[in-house]
Amino acid sequence: MHRGAVMALTRVNMRGRAAISLFERIAGEPLAQRERLTDTIQLCLVKPGESIFNQDDPHPYLYVVESGLLKLTYLRSDGEEWIKSFVVGGQFFASLSALAPTGCASFSAIAIEACRLEKIPFVALRDLADANLGWSRMIRNALMIFGERKERRERQFLTLDREEHYRSLVREEPDLITRVPQKDLASYLGITAVGLSRIAARVRAEGRT
């Protein structure tokens, strides 16, 4: 199984600005004891093509994307890649299975563009949630956001044909259409690059008329 080159980490005194801003929006309120979290955060500068973590690795961390674009992928034993989702600036991601004690990541995370990520040990979030209702509420709301994303992806994949799914992306996430390489977009939709090119051509032709 192919395993991508893992990113380099740079620890800096950024005080977790992107993470705290996002978490307070998710919680719907200011969060107390923020320094307990910011002291644990690392800034990760990731080049295109580098892996943030690999499938089956122990990796009990959550990431907040300050900028950039990355893909979350499953890899089969024959090396074929299946893209489960994309993540952009202002969002967060983690492998839930890797957050459990002795757990491992169920997928890989790979940068498509250069990324700035804030890497947060999950144990630091868990300890804050155990001691503070605001942080507990934030984690609960974050899990709901995470679950809604997964449910929406499953519904699109199971109920829409590939052209309908592409059209929904054009309507709802047009930025992805221009930023994601065609081969990755085709993998995400579960079609060949040739099939995607034909669908995109039909959609463009309709737009011109």
Instruction: Count CB-CB contacts under 10 A for residue 162.
Output: 16
**Per-residue confidence at 12, pLDDT binned at 50, 70, 90?**
very low
C-alpha distances out from residue 180 to 6, 11, 88, Å = 21, 29, 11
The pLDDT of residue 14 is 52
The pLDDT of residue 89 is 95
Place of tokens 């122990």: 58
> In angstroms, rounded to a whole number, what is the distance separating the alpha carbons of residues 171 and 99?
34
**Per-residue confidence at 155, pLDDT binned at 50, 70, 90?**
confident
What's the rounded mean pLDDT across residues 75-101? 91
| Contacts with 96 (C-beta within 8 Å, 6 or more apart), sequence order | 106, 146
> Does residue 75 register a pLDDT over 90?
no
The domains located in the chain, with CATH, are 8-146 (2.60.120.10), 160-208 (no CATH)
- SS3 category, 120: strand
Q: What are the pLDDT digits (tens) for 156-182?
A: 888 889 999 999 999 999 999 999 999
Q: Which residues of 29-56 are buried (b: 16+ CB within 10 A; e: fewer)?
A: eebeebeebbeebbbbbbeeebbbbbbb
The pLDDT of residue 179 is 96
> Does residue 44 register a pLDDT over 90?
yes
The pLDDT of residue 7 is 52
CA torsion 104→146→74→154, rounded to 10°? 140
What are phi and psi for residue 41, nearest 5 degrees?
Answer: -85, 140
Tell me the two tokens of residue 40. 């644990």
Q: Looking at the chain, list the stretches that DSSP marks H as alpha helix, in order from N- to C-terminal side.
A: 17-27, 34-38, 96-99, 122-131, 133-159, 162-172, 174-179, 182-189, 193-208
Q: pTM score, two decimals? A: 0.88
The pLDDT of residue 209 is 53
The pLDDT of residue 156 is 85
Choice among 75-89, 90-104, 110-124 with the minimum mean pLDDT:
75-89
**Per-residue confidence at 126, pLDDT binned at 50, 70, 90?**
very high
Nearest in space to 110 (alpha carbons), one of 165, 163, 196, 181: 181
What's the rounded mean pLDDT across residues 120-124? 96
Write down the mean pLDDT value for the chain: 90
> Does residue 115 register a pLDDT over 90?
yes
